């Protein structure tokens, strides 16, 4: 027993040394428990003991389904608590403020910390553009097709299916609808399963475009408490859907926007069961699912859905190119209503772009690119966390995202992020004020930062200026 | 005076001879009045006298703004009368029947007389596909752009503006929104200016996708009588909009679908004035505007609009390719609401496709192509009229379209076109049943035929089979 104790101490000390020497950088993953166990000939529990010791000392952190990571020094900030939104659904009205934020955020000379957009240097743009030439040469009749129905390219649907084989055959080719973006996918699903006046359950905080969509469709938002670590509260959703007043649930289970939480598999299973039992349509935005920081691609709720209640929506705007404008829906039992809405709302989808995407997904380059990209995003998120911890007011809380590339920041309660927005733009920094993530006006002391760009001195300086401004 | 009389008789006889010899084919245009006057050294009134004589004898027909055309022998059918729709707005519910019609219409072995789709052989598909390769080579950073705002390509907007210079500067670059199709354009305009429960004035008969859109948005349709020659009744619209209960007017002023009527300029002017006086938003679908049979490109209502009440929507699906999926809106005073709906509903539009379209529009090939295409469509419509006159029941009425490529057919009142639809599909012929063009269940004895294909023996035989079936 003493020998065992020594062995875990020895392992912990070795790892400390490696971290202190800089051989393992902040944000990098430690070797897996299994590998350490095998290579050091230690039991799994001994390895875990060593890692727990490092964790207690703030040197490493555990991430669900992902393993252990070196912490940024000085980024031992508390995560924001999940808040209790009002019990009642609320009409949404944030549209014109949002347009101002989006437009100011892309103005020249403004640091791009608002919209969740990746730096173009991280994306395989040259490969995608080259594919266009090949696609139109090899398929000379592509533009002959009809304009309203039957124009989903089988090659693209096949690639999308192949990407989900790990989910135990969760998807079927016959349930797909190709769309002009993930945004359009969400809009079509909502139109397929709701009527004006209905109530839709959303996360709190929720992605602002989802709230906009609800407003535009005359729907009410019911905000469900959402934990920065575990995502939407199943208990609260359970309560809210007991009396049948909720027409649908709209959420981001994998790397939620803005919190970056990944819902544990057990909760996904419970949510899928709840949807089945109550006939509740679930609209799942999985656009960040490929951008997990852990080893394993997290499954979507759709993978646990046996009854077709879950509509899976996504696109490749966050990992290949935001300008392609191709998204998709695996619509389950709602497929035909969704297809009707697509026919009415925009008709078919351009077949050239569909095939360009299909060919890129079929290439070996795609998985290599995604591996590199995940590491870049993780590094950028860690660096942004460190910068915020350094420059923002002392009591600021910061999320610890498990994927994606946005950071949610809770400022001291007296600071109003909306009120400071125009000053920040004047100082050359954009962000998305927290109140846009709530239909009921919560989160005024919060903001979201885009970490889609490599953490350059310019970005660091922008965070510093923003921190100065918020500290005043 | 007698000499003059002889001269017009002589001209009429010469023209009769040319037609009888087949040197001027049915559907072809006679030389213009001005040219005949100049070349024969006759006064304009003498030339007109000769033409009126030919018209009275059923050999030629006058078309507004277009000149005189050789009639098809045996196609002296009456046009359908305009019908009186109910005074009250009506909730729309035709969606599932429509999907059945659209799907059956593209089934293999079925003659394509349903959806208004051109034969691919008529379209410049090879040129468009070649442009893709050039565009991505010359613009290597196209796919880097953001995903939600500011992604309308200036080169495309410029080409769209240039196409409207003849309309006395009706459009401004700042009012454009590029969309994923004309269908999406109409949907965005409706969402920008209406709320669920509102009433929208439409033509009667109206394009079925417009009725679908109203249904999907929870809007009521108020059907306004529409004349097969002169389009929507301004008097009826005037009456209907007196009490402010109409939230918008949605129509196709140029080559309406399905009637093929072109609204006279004077009526367009009156409609624009009415819209200004009453603050009535007008959504104008101009997708057939370039497909006029007359000499002059008819102006849209938008050209007469001084107050920004008119939203002009269009795309190039009917003349370049139905698969491009690029449309546009010149949104007037409603531009910012429309842009917001685009951001929420689908985000930005693919920039590669936008530039491909811009470069084609900028090429000299475009106008040459359109001239040829207009002649083809006119020939095909004439041939379809002749076939319908030959094969359909004797009392059948047929429209005389002034543009576009669909024909509206009114059968004897006891024939129900919806009830015969499945039999027709079984016989290998598709069409769109008339009831889909009305929210109030009118037009059950009508149907629409697509004339987008060259009138081959196969098409002729399909019309014959359909005629037999309807005569039984």
Report yes or no: B154 at the A interface, CB cutoff 8 Å: no
pLDDT bin (cut points 50, 70, 90) of residue B94 is low
Q: Please indicate if any CB of chain B lies within 8 Å of the CB of A104.
A: no
Q: Which residues of A touch B148 (CB under 8 A)?
A: 102, 115, 183, 209
Q: Look at domain A122-365 and name its CATH class.
A: alpha beta
DSSP designation for B63: E
Which one of A133, A180, A213 has the shortest CB-CB distance to B180?
A: A180
Give the gap in angstroms from C-alpha A182 to the nearest C-alpha of chain B: 8
Cβ contact B123–A144 (<8 Å): yes
Fold category of B90-120+368-471 in CATH: 3.90.1150
| Confidence band, pLDDT 50/70/90 cuts, at residue B9 | confident
Q: What is the pLDDT of residues A21-53, one digit of tens each?
A: 777 777 788 888 888 888 778 888 888 888 888
Direct distance between the N- and C-terminal alpha carbons of chain A, in angstroms, rounded to an integer: 56
Q: Does A274 touch chain B (CB under 8 A)?
A: no
Residues A181 and A194: their CA atoms lie apart, in Å, by 20
Is the Cβ of B138 closer than 8 Å to some Cβ of chain A? no
Of B172 and A22, the structure prediction assigns the larger pLDDT to: B172
Q: What is the mean pLDDT of the segment spanning A401-409?
A: 98
Which residues of A are less than 8 Å from B126 in CB distance?
140
Residues facing B397 on adjacent strands: B410
Confidence at residue B93, expressed as pLDDT on a 0 to 100 scale: 60
Q: How far apart are CA A113 and CA A459, in angstroms?
A: 9
The per-residue pLDDT for range B183-213, each reduced to its tens digit, is 999 999 999 999 989 999 999 999 999 999 9
Helices (H), B282-411: 335-345, 351-362, 365-391
For CA atoms B242, B248, B251, B254, the dihedral sign is: positive
pLDDT at residue B74 in the model:
52
Q: Which residues contact B252 (CB under 8 A, 6 or more apart)?
A: B203, B207, B284, B285, B286, B287, B288
Q: How many Å apart are CA A215 and CA A91, to the nearest integer?
A: 7
Residue in chain B closest to A138 (alpha carbons) equals: B129
Quote the minimal CA–CA distance from A108 to chain B in Å. 13
B419 Cβ under 8 Å from any chain A Cβ? no
Minimum distance, in Å, between the CA of residue B324 and any CA atom of chain A: 6
pLDDT of residue A1: 46
The average confidence (pLDDT) of chain B is 91
Q: Give A-chain residues touching B325 at CB under 8 angstroms.
A: 147, 180, 346-350
CA A18 to mean position of chain CA atoms: 32
DSSP state, residue B429:
B
pLDDT number for residue B65: 76
Alpha-carbon torsion B288, B289, B294, B298, what sign? Answer: positive
Strand partners of residue A202: A223, A250
* Residue B73 binned pLDDT confidence (cut-offs 50, 70, 90): low
Nearest CA distance, A450 vs chain B (angstrom): 13
Q: Distance (Å) from the C-alpha of residue A348 to the closest C-alpha of chain B?
A: 7
Q: Which of A455, A432, A447 has the alpha carbon at shortest distance from A393? A: A447
Which runs of E-coded beta strand occur in B114-217? 176-179, 199-204
Domain ranges of chain A: 2-70, 94-120+368-471, 122-365
Is the CB of A343 inside 8 Å of chain B's CB atoms? yes
- Evaluate if residue A75 carries a pLDDT over 60: no
Which pairs from B229-233 meet CB under 8 Å and 24+ separation?
A: B229/B64, B229/B79, B229/B261, B229/B400, B230/B261, B230/B263, B230/B264, B230/B267, B231/B203, B231/B256, B231/B259, B231/B261, B231/B262, B231/B263, B231/B264, B231/B267, B232/B203, B232/B256, B232/B263, B232/B267, B232/B271, B233/B82
**B328 to chain A, closest Cα gap in Å:** 12
CB contact under 8 A, B149 and A196: no
Side-chain half-sphere CA neighbours of A124 within 13 A: 23
- The pLDDT-based confidence of B87 (bands split at 50, 70, 90) is confident
d(C-alpha A409, C-alpha A402), whole Å: 15
Residue B312 has pLDDT above 90, yes or no: yes
How sure is the predictor about B26, in pLDDT bands with cuts at 50, 70 and 90?
confident
What is the per-residue pLDDT across A196-228, written as a single tens digit (0 to 9) for each? 899 999 999 999 999 999 998 989 999 999 999
Are A323 and B191 a contacting pair at CB < 8 A?
no
Q: β-strand B446-450 against B432-433: which pairing, if any?
A: antiparallel
Contact list in B for residue A351 (CB cut-off 8 A) is: 323
CATH number of A94-120+368-471: 3.90.1150.10
Largest CA distance in chain A: 77
- Note the CATH number of domain A2-70: 1.10.10.10
Mind listing the pLDDT tens digit for each residue in B443-453? 999 999 999 99
Peptide bond connecting A270 to the previous residue in cis, omega within 30 degrees of 0: no
Determine contact: B196 vs chain A, CB below 8 A: yes
Q: Please report the ipTM that was assigned to this predicted complex.
A: 0.83
Task: Please give the Cα distance from A208 to B449 (Å, whole number).
Answer: 45
CB B413 within 8 A of CB B445: yes
* Per-residue model confidence as pLDDT tens digits over B215-225: 989 899 999 99
> How many CA atoms lie within 13 Å of B111's alpha carbon, on the beta-carbon side?
24
Give the span between the Cα atoms of A313 and B450, in whole angstroms: 35
CB contact (8 A) between residue A323 and residue B351: yes
Q: How confident is the model at residue B1 (pLDDT cuts 50, 70, 90)?
A: very low
- Whether B148 sits inside 8 A of A213 (CB atoms) is no
CB proximity B194 to A under 8 Å? no
- Per CATH, the number for B124-365 is 3.40.640.10
Cβ(B182)–Cβ(B321) below 8 Å: no
Contacts of A136 in chain B (CB under 8 A): 129-130, 132-133
Element housing B328 (H / E): strand B327-330
The Cα-based distances of B398 to A6, A31, B77, B113, B392 in angstroms read 97, 78, 6, 15, 10
Q: Which residues of B touch A95 (CB under 8 A)?
A: 340, 344
Cβ atoms within 10 A of the Cβ of B334, count? Answer: 23
Q: How far is A147 from chain B (nearest CA, A)?
A: 5
**Interatomic CA distance for residues A55 and A122, integer angstroms:** 32
CB contact under 8 A, B183 and A346: yes
CA dihedral B12, B15, B16, B20 (to 10 degrees): 180
- Please check whether residue B425 is in contact with residue B411, taking contact to mean a CB–CB distance below 8 angstroms: no
Give the C-alpha separation, B303 to B169, whole Å.
Answer: 8
Q: What is the model's pLDDT at position A150?
A: 66
**A interface test, pick of B114, B146, B149, B178 with most A CB neighbours within 10 Å:** B146
Query: Which A positions 224-263 lie with beta carbon below 8 A of chain B?
Result: none
In this predicted model, which residue has the larger pLDDT, A54 or A451?
A: A451
Does B411 contact A at CB distance below 8 Å?
Answer: no
- Share above pLDDT 70 across residues of chain A, in percent, rounded to a whole number: 96
For the segment A170-189, the average pLDDT, to the nearest whole number, is 95
């Amino acid at each position: 027993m003493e020998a065992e104790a020594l062995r875990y101490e020895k392992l912990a000390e070795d790892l400390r040394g490696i971290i202190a020497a800089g051989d393992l950088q902040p944000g990098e993953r430690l070797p897996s428990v299994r590998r350490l166990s095998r290579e050091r000939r230690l039991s799994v529990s001994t390895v875990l003991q060593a890692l727990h010791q490092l964790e207690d000392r703030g040197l490493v952190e555990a991430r669900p389904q992902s393993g252990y990571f070196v912490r940024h020094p000085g980024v031992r900030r508390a995560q924001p608590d999940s808040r209790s939104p009002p019990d009642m659904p609320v009409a949404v009205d944030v549209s014109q403020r949002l347009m101002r934020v989006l437009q100011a955020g892309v103005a020249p000379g403004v640091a791009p910390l608002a919209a969740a957009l990746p730096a173009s240097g991280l994306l395989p743009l040259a490969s995608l553009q080259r594919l266009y030439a090949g696609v139109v040469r090899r398929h000379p009749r592509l533009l002959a097709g009809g304009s309203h129905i039957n124009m989903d390219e089988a090659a693209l649907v096949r690639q999308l299916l192949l990407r989900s084989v790990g989910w135990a055959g969760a998807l079927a080719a016959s349930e797909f609808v190709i769309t002009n973006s993930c945004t359009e996918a969400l809009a079509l699903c909502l139109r397929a399963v709701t009527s004006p006046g209905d109530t839709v359950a959303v996360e709190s905080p929720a992605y602002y475009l989802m709230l906009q969509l609800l407003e535009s469709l005359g729907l009410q938002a019911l905000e469900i408490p959402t934990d920065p670590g575990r995502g939407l509260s199943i208990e609260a959703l359970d309560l809210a859907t007991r009396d049948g007043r909720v027409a649908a649930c709209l959420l981001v289970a994998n790397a939620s926007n803005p919190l970056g939480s990944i819902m544990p598999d057990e909760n996904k299973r419970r949510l899928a069961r709840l949807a089945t039992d109550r006939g509740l349509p679930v609209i799942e935005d999985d656009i960040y699912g490929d951008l997990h920081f852990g080893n394993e691609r997290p499954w979507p709720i759709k993978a646990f859905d046996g009854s077709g209640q879950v509509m899976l929506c996504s696109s490749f705007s966050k990992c290949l190119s935001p300008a392609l404008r191709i998204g998709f829906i695996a619509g389950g039992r709602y497929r035909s209503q969704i297809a009707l809405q697509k026919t009415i709302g925009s008709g078919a989808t351009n077949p050239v772009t569909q095939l360009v995407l299909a060919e890129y997904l079929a290439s070996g380059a795609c998985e290599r690119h995604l591996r590199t990209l995940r590491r870049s995003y993780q590094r950028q998120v860690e660096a942004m966390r460190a910068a915020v911890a350094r420059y923002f007011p002392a009591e600021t809380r910061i999320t610890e995202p498990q994927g994606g590339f946005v950071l949610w920041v809770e400022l001291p309660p007296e600071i109003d992020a909306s009120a400071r927005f125009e000053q920040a733009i004047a100082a050359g920094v954009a962000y998305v004020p927290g109140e846009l993530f709530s239909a009921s006006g919560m989160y005024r002391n919060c903001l979201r930062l885009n970490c889609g760009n490599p953490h350059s001195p310019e970005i660091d300086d922008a965070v510093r200026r923003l921190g100065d401004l918020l500290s005043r």
